[in-house]
Amino acid sequence: MPFKEGKLPVKYLGVPLVSAKLGYNDCRVLVERLEKRIMHWRNKLLSFAGRLQLTNSVLSSMHIYWSSVFILPVRIIKDLEAKMRNFLWSQESAFSKGNGATTSAWYDNWTVLGPLADFLSARVITDADFRLEDSVTDVYSNGGWRWPLAWRDLFPVLIQIDQVLLDPLKNDRLLWKDGNELNGFSSSGVWHSLRHREPEVDWCNIVWCGRKFGIGGGGGMNSVSPKWSEIVEWLCARSHHKRADIYVAKLLVAATAYNIWQERNATLFKNQLRPPETVSDVIIKTVRYKLMGAKLKDTVRVRKILEEWEIHADEKGDDGG
């Protein structure tokens, strides 16, 4: 018969077909799908109310189809619940509570609930004789909160902030919460929290390097075989060196790779072809201009390297522009 013999498990209508009881590894794809949905950068910018809505309407229903066909392993259910719980209560900006004088009681994210205005409407707030401009200090008195007792029945989540205490000797401070970590707010911290991460490659240190270098010994790449694998291996072995000749080697390899890539694109898409001598000259000029603008220590060996690139003292500081 012209049929290929297969092996279980296989997928049919989106679910695995197995000959035995469904195991954790068979359902791991559910956890991975949930993680992928949670890690989308747009989801990290949601307020508490937004995350709650996403959890109730989307995340908690992602495994319903499978549950209608199989009995899911308990470990899978616990993993799904844990990830939804962590998503709901994490990754948001927050205020470090001091005296509460500069933190909005309704619109700033100073509680685990998120901004109180997410569930307290402006009408509810003003009907209770509060102002929309009130700070946390204005709604706090004698170690407790001044809102009406009826709010506890209407909005029982407020009970969660009963233990919040203000410190009259401490100023409020904006913080950034990433998972379980709470750090000072900065653009850098927010970017590292939101950006998509890939595994670090072993050659990253030969691409990203500083510019202020000393010098120790000669060196150069004259002894390296002109094979890409051996060039990368040679640079990786010296990626943490702060010698000027290693810096020059990194510049040379980067400029070469970039210009060859540009030449390849020009040939494929614009039908333009330059002789190798022209490309080589462009690479040399690129490295030379970079060295003219680099901050290198003024030592005998550094000056020798610069002279080899025909860079003299009166040209330093000129970036070729």
Distance in angstroms (rounded) separating the CA atoms of residues 117 and 103: 13
Mean pLDDT, all residues of the chain: 77
In this model, does residue 41 exceed pLDDT 60? no
Contact 94, 136 (CB under 8 A): no
Exposed/middle/buried for residue 160 (C-beta within 10 Å: 0-12, 13-18, 19+): exposed
Q: At how many degrees (to 10) do helices 300-308 and 244-269 cross? A: 20
- What is the per-residue pLDDT for 131? 93
Of residues 128 and 159, more confidence is placed in 128
- What is the per-residue pLDDT for 133? 93
Banded model confidence at residue 254, pLDDT cuts 50, 70, 90: confident
Query: Of 15, 139, 142, which is closest to residue 72 (Cα–Cα)?
Result: 15
Say which range, 62-66, 213-217, 299-303, has the weakest mean pLDDT: 213-217
Classify 135 as helix, strand or coil: strand
- What is the per-residue pLDDT for 51? 78
Max mean pLDDT range (33-47, 60-74, 215-229) = 60-74
Q: Rounded to two decimals, what is the model's pTM?
A: 0.38
At 152-192, the pLDDT tens digits run 888 888 877 877 778 888 888 877 777 667 777 788 877 77
At 67-113, the pLDDT tens digits run 777 778 888 888 888 788 777 765 454 555 678 888 898 988 887 77
In this model, does residue 215 exceed pLDDT 60? no
Query: Of 85, 88, 79, 84, which is closest to residue 61 (Cα–Cα)?
Result: 84
Classify 220 as helix, strand or coil: coil
